[in-house]
Amino acid sequence: MLEILSKIRHPHLVLLLGACPERGCLVYEYMESGSLDDRLMQVNDTPAMPWFERFRIAFEIASALVFLHKSKPRPIIHRDLKPGDILLDHNFVSKLEDIGLSTMVNLEDASSKLTILKETSLVGTLCYIDPEYQRTGIISPKSDVYSLGIVILQLITAKSPIGTTQKVEETIVDDAEFMALWDVKAGTWPMSETRELAALGLFSQNSVGRTPSGPPSHFICPLLKRVMNEPCVAADGYTYDREAIQDWLRENDTSPVTNLPLPDKNILANCTLYSAIMEWKSSK
């Protein structure tokens, strides 16, 4: 395993330079800006990371996971993804570390979502371990996806992982309540993009770790009170089913949620949420 890991090269994976199996030591490249966890918590009074760097880091870590999960001859699963394992260089480019603790797995077949690896003792940090892995001991690449969803929400909120998912789920459709969760030290977050990023974080967890009795709350149209077929963002920043909001706008100039005047009647397709809804429907 170490021989394979020492040959892995990706711009967002910390480079493994060497190992001492006798002492149980791994030697990685030096990352001078420390961990993402330290930066989010502003350890040693370091400046807060701006929101746009957090968006970039979410993309960088996702790309690293895709690379690991598509590795040949077998997928590599990190198993312990958390902000403390995401390191930053002098330019705040993020790289995933602790690949030495990862596992290579054999998929049962090309279409399988599970792996043949079943562990008797769990590996990882409790708050970031997906419930399916906790329940069955069966690990798959989706275990990393679950952890990534939590990390994404922490990038937005800079809060502990405990309870953050529930808070975001409860507030994501309400601008004021949702904004109250953001890390204000990161600057002026763009509402639409931040909501989409949060929805991605929630979906990463819902698609893996839980089988909810109903759809995620952000899939529900505020007007129809059911899952949207074609989600679109209106000028008030809220997402509605296209047909429902078009019918509303024919007779109203105010937001159906806030009752405040709308600056215009333009609507924009929410492609990220649409993809999440389609995948959720296909998994039922």
Which residues, 6 or more positions from 201, have their beta carbon under 8 angstroms from its beta carbon? 148, 149, 150, 151, 152, 153, 156, 165, 168
Indicate the Cα dihedral angle 44, 128, 164, 270, nearest 10°: 110
Residue type, 277: I
172: Cα within 13 Å, side-chain hemisphere: 29
Whose tokens are 């030495």? That residue is 100
Whose tokens are 């808070």? That residue is 167
* Token pair listed for 128: 């970031």
DSSP H helices in the chain: 2-6, 36-40, 51-69, 131-136, 141-157, 164-171, 175-179, 191-206, 242-251, 271-283
Tell me if residue 80 is catalytic.
Answer: yes
Catalytic residue (one of 80, 85, 98, 130) = 80
**CA separation for the pair 122, 14 (Å, rounded):** 24
Catalytic residues: 80
